[in-house]
A and B are shown apart, each in its own frame.
Chain A
Amino acid sequence: MAAVTETLDTVQSVTQSGYKWGFETTIEMDFAPKGLNEDIIRLISARKEEPEWMLEWRLKAYAAWLTMTEPRWARVDHPPIDYQDLHYYAAPKKKAGPKSLDEVDPELLKMYEKLGIPLKERAILAGVDPDTVENTQIAVDAVFDSVSVATTFQATLRKAGVIFCPISEAVREHPELVKQYLGTVVPTADNFFAALNSAVFTDGSFVYIPKGVRCPMELSTYFRINARNTGQFERTLIIAAEGAHVSYLEGCTAPQRDENQLHAAVVELVALDDATIKYSTVQNWYPGDANGKGGIYNFVTKRGACRGARSKISWTQVETGSAITWKYPSCVLLGEDSVGEFYSVAVTNNHQQADTGTKMIHVGKGSRSTIISKGISAGHSNNTYRGLVKMLPSASNARNHTQCDSLLIGDQSGAHTVPYIESRNLTAKVEHEATTSKIADDQLFYCRQRGLSEEDAVGLIVNGFCKDVLKELPMEFAVEAQKLLAVSLEGSVG
């Protein structure tokens, strides 16, 4: 009973229309000139005070990018992107570099407040003693455009031996780790957008969990796109050493505006023997207005390598934002008995386009993977699941189970499923199921009869449809995700 009330409250609390996180902070920006060439890359590298090897790595990626063409196979449609018409470097102007939170620009702190950064960390950002909130700690490495501005909980993490810092800092402070792992999961020339990212990435997070350590708190980074005409190119690298365990949360909202913005992030995960990485995303970037004007282009390469025996990588994503989503969080299951998971909810409304899914590449003996994908299309949107399950000859006794369901709301949207199944091992087992349907009239009738408005009823049914995925999210995110689903589907019925 309580749960139902809570859900209703949740649905009610978000019925105000529009994109409530659409605001823009005014902070002086430090721009590099528009365009992309070797000089810009040198400038980025210099601004980041990077060592020579990092610059060379970037230039190599740039050279590869020049020979590549934008992929056209996804079911997304957009006007050509002029890569020379973007700023590739923008940094909030800093006075001396914040050494403590007091020095952080108050505009930024206000922005976190508006963002509704959950629970205690806002208080912590405001200066509350960390010891009083020990049990529900979530460390925040807030990414404000391209530079990480504030990092909390460093002391607690340092005590545990965990490294959690902006990647540019890791390049300077932990070059041996970065050199060893960067680009080994997603090579610089992996695909067009990954190559672009490798050449120009300006920030992102670096996480290293040493052997046997269970990260003492959830790690959470808020990505935010703020500057006009600035492509955002984060690079995230997470390494869990033998027996380590980490849960990483990524949440996104962006200011409302008309111009399309390009976002091409790369996330690399490495799990060694017995390590576990759980990576959760709630993506709610500006999707464009009801007529399909504006919105973020989100071209992301996310991949995890289960290198060790019994290692596990779990992706959970709730994708409600962006005009275009092009994203396939994948697992390369190299280790014996390694585990890969992909739980996804993708909601598209109005003129949004999502082409998302996963790849599970089974190499190791006894490796297992689970794919649960829920796609919801409303308005004039198109929502595609695209996935690959591949069993290599070495993957004896490997298992995969895939379930992908699509829900259509309204008769102007499209739902598509494109799974690829390739098996070269007779002892490997693959099971795939997919369904497409609309919200059943009897379900709707049942809810309406009990006094729910049509919109609330849809929200409720959609939440039920996505339950299998939402329950995989950490609790705080699950609540936010439920709200997002309802907001995203506003105006899709009636």
Chain B
Amino acid sequence: MSTGATGFLERYEAAVGRLPGDSALRAAAAAAFKVAGLPGGTPRARPVEAWKYTSLRPVAEATFQASPKHEAETLLSGLTLLDAPRLVFVDGVLRADLSDASPTMTTVGHSATVAPLLTGGSFTAGVQIARFADQPDFGTLTWPDREPMVALNTMLASDGATLDVPAGVDGGIVQLVSLSGGQGDFHPRHSIRLGKGARLTVVEISAGQGVYLLNTVAEIHVAAGAHLTHIRLQDEAATAFHVSTTYADVVAGGTYDSFTLNLGGRLSRTEVHTQLSGPGATAHLNAAQILAGSQHADFTTVVSHTAPSCGSRQTVKNVLAGRSRGVFQGKIEVARHAQKTDGYQMNQALLLSPYAEVDSKPELEIFADDVKCSHGATVGELDAEQMFYLRSRGIPDADAKSILVRAFLAEALDAVADETIRGLLETAVEQWWERQKA
């Protein structure tokens, strides 16, 4: 099969008419992707500021390979999961037999394919789940003409989860698990809508084997007073490419609280666009990236304050070993009428190796005067005084380093309020350490 942008476009041409959803939107996305191509995908590609530090040349040049011993069941059994309902996607397609919904979840639309998820019981309250074809707001928040990878997803997406939480309902936790290992590229498309005063925690976990591209897009609506906690644990195969783009629209008094932990993948890009469009809306976009080898991970955020009295908080930490490269790009935009905005952003990077690299671009774009916006960034190695303190107490060099790195990370994970979920992430970090030792 052809690789790079041409290959994607050929696949789209072949599938036109058979894909669900708005076909005009897909055609427009394909046209946009044809013009833009993969960011940095060819040596002659025009440099794009939003992709200054990340080039998808490796994706364009990759030959996707199925893992020889790929079995979704094996992958799934190797994962640590929460004791909560889960929807499992294998190579981007929902696998009802591996999924496990709770009695409080209901299905809408293509109920025949989602029904097997349900283990019975009352469907009167809770989360309504549906598949991609039933997404009522496909593409309403996205900008495929600005983001080529979103254009690519929009043109090829065929499956994904649609989660709806009715007003006033606490939907509990839903896990979205992505297991990849097939040959190729997968473009899941999720939609999450919270009604007024609703609550939900979504935990996205991705893992896999082999050489593949997972290119997810999620569109999120948080209604007045609603609260969405969105956790992402990215632990893809060390040979894989992971691109995830989230758009969240938060209205009056709503909260979008997200945390991203990037551990895996040869190259990953996590992009979060949050619009605070109602007074008093809040967004937390926290993240930690722990990288080794020749991994490259890019965490990029745009927070648009378009209504007054909104707040945004971001703490992003990078721990970089080996020849890895960590990227953080964070932009806070404050519109003319978004007075009383309170925006804060902190970016810290810890370099553990002389060959690691960190690139950081915290950006403020402010058009309102009565605002409080600030950002801070620090880059460096472990604090010499702290090391000395531990060493002088007889702790060996390697252990002292490990203690300080863990402390640095623990601070990042503190942003996750739910203890069970924090535990899950801590376990993932521990496993990452074990893998580095091996």
A-side interface residues toward B, CB under 8 Å?
73, 391, 393, 406, 408-438
Contact = CB atoms under 8 A, between A and B. Distances in A.
A263 B350 CA distance: 43
B339 A429 contact: no
B378 A420 contact: no
A422 B369 CA distance: 30
B352 interface: yes
B376 A418 contact: no
Contact of A434 (B351, B374, B380): B374
Nearest to B331: A418
B376 A434 contact: yes
Given A426-B351, A430-B377, A411 B356 contact: no
7 contacts: A411-B368, A419-B377, A420-B359, A420-B360, A426-B380, A432-B376, A436-B374
A433 B362 CA distance: 10
| Interface SS of A by simple majority | strand
Interface of B: 49, 336, 339, 349, 351-381
Given A409-B369, A438-B371, A432 B377 contact: yes
Contacts of A417: 362-364, 375
A431 B19 CA distance: 49
B372 to A, nearest CB: 6
Residue of B351, B353, B364 with most partner-chain A CB within 10 A: B364
Given A413-B367, A426-B351, 10 more contacts: A408-B366, A412-B336, A414-B367, A416-B366, A417-B362, A419-B361, A427-B380, A430-B379, A432-B375, A434-B374
B378 A431 contact: yes
Nearest to B329: A420
A411 B369 contact: yes
Given A423-B349, A438-B369, A429 B380 contact: yes
A428 B361 contact: no
B358 A422 contact: yes
A410 B369 contact: yes
B288 to A, nearest CB: 18
B374 A435 contact: yes
B376 A426 contact: no
A464 B241 CA distance: 51
A197 B379 CA distance: 37
Given A415-B364, A421-B361, A430-B380, A393 B354 contact: yes
Given A73-B49, A429-B380, A422 B357 contact: yes
A135 B123 CA distance: 91
B343 to A, nearest CB: 8
Nearest to B320: A426
Contacts of B372: 435-437
A393 B358 CA distance: 12
A73 B47 CA distance: 12
Nearest to B362: A419
Contacts of A431: 376-378
Contacts of A415: 364, 366
A409 B363 CA distance: 20
B363 A426 contact: no
Contacts of B351: 423, 425-426
Contacts of B360: 420-422, 432
Residue of A409, A418, A426, A432 with most partner-chain B CB within 10 A: A426
Nearest to B367: A414
A432 B376 CA distance: 5
Ranked nearest first, the 8 interchain pairs of A and B with the lowest CB-CB distance are A426-B351, A408-B369, A429-B380, A432-B377, A430-B379, A417-B364, A421-B360, A435-B374
B339 A411 contact: yes
A437 B369 CA distance: 7
Contacts of A436: 364, 366, 371-374
A391 B360 CA distance: 12
Given A411-B336, A436-B364, A424 B357 contact: yes
Contact of B379 (A410, A428, A433, A434): A428
